[in-house]
C-alpha cells in the first residue's frame, strides 16, 4: 500500500470509530451505508490511479540505402586532354608524362562506386585503355608510336564519356588524313595526329553536351 493509501485508511478508521461510539438503531442504516462508502474509498486509495497514457515505442527505422552515385571522369579527362594537347604541340616528353598520369587515373576509376552501365563500359575498355596509356608513357622519344596508341586510347575515352557523362561540353573531332578521332575541350581543331605540320586538319563530328 502506498503512503497515500495509508493516509486514507487512517482517516477512514477515525470516522468508523466516531460512528461506532455514537451508534444507535436510528443511525444503523446510515452507518451501514457509510461503511460501504468508506470501503470503496479505501479501495480507491489503496490502488493508485494507473496512467492511461500509452507509451509509444517507435521502432527503429532502417536507414535508406544510398543510391550509387555516378563516378566522375574528371581526373581521366584532365590527363587525357593534357596528353592530346601535348601531341598537338609535338611535345613527346610532355605526352609521356600526361599519359602516365592518365594511366593512374584510369586504374583509380575502376575502384569508384560504379553503376551497372558504368561497370560494363569500364570492363569492356579498361584493359585496352590502360595498355595504350602505358605505351604512350613508355615512349617519350617516339611520337609516332605515341600517336598510334593515342588513336585506340581516344576511342576508349569516348566510350567512357558516353557511359559516365561529362561535366563540360566536349567535341569529338575527326582527321580524314589520319583516319582517326579524338576528343577535345574546344571547337578549334588542334590535330594531335599531325601536330604543328597540319594542326587545323579535321572537323568536329559531334558535340557532347555536359550532363
Domains of the chain: 3-46 (no CATH), 74-208 (1.20.120)
pLDDT attached to residue 7: 55
pLDDT attached to residue 152: 98
pLDDT attached to residue 154: 99
Which residues contact residue 130 at a Cβ distance below 8 angstroms, ignoring those fewer than 6 apart?
Answer: 103, 106, 107
CA–CA gap between residue 95 and residue 131 (Å, rounded): 15
User: Which set of grid coordinates corresponds to residue 161?
Assistant: 564519356
The count of other CB atoms within 10 Å of the CB of residue 76 is: 23
pLDDT attached to residue 211: 79
pLDDT attached to residue 64: 35
- Answering whether pTM is above 0.85, one says no
pLDDT attached to residue 108: 96
pLDDT attached to residue 57: 44
Residues of the chain short of pLDDT 50, as ranges, are: 19, 25-28, 32, 35, 42, 48-70
Amino acid at each position: 500500500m502506498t503512503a497515500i493509501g495509508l493516509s486514507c485508511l487512517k482517516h477512514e478508521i477515525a470516522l468508523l470509530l466516531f460512528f461506532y461510539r455514537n451508534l444507535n438503531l436510528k443511525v444503523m442504516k446510515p452507518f451501514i451505508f457509510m461503511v460501504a462508502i468508506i470501503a470503496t474509498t479505501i479501495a480507491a486509495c489503496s490502488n493508485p490511479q494507473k496512467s492511461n497514457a500509452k507509451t509509444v515505442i517507435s521502432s527503429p527505422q532502417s536507414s535508406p540505402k544510398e543510391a550509387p552515385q555516378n563516378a566522375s571522369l574528371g581526373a581521366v579527362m584532365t590527363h587525357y586532354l593534357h596528353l592530346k594537347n601535348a601531341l598537338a604541340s609535338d611535345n613527346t616528353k610532355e605526352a609521356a608524362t600526361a599519359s602516365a598520369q592518365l594511366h593512374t587515373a584510369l586504374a583509380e576509376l575502376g575502384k569508384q562506386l560504379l553503376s551497372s552501365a558504368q561497370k560494363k563500359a569500364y570492363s569492356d575498355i579498361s584493359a585496352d585503355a590502360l595498355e595504350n596509356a602505358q605505351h604512350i608513357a613508355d615512349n617519350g622519344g617516339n611520337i609516332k608510336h605515341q600517336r598510334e596508341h593515342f588513336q585506340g586510347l581516344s576511342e576508349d575515352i569516348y566510350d567512357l564519356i558516353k557511359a559516365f557523362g561529362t561535366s563540360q561540353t566536349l567535341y569529338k573531332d575527326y582527321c580524314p588524313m589520319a583516319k582517326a578521332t579524338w576528343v577535345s575541350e574546344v571547337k578549334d581543331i588542334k590535330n594531335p595526329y599531325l601536330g604543328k605540320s597540319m594542326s587545323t586538319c579535321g572537323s568536329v563530328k559531334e558535340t557532347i553536351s555536359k550532363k
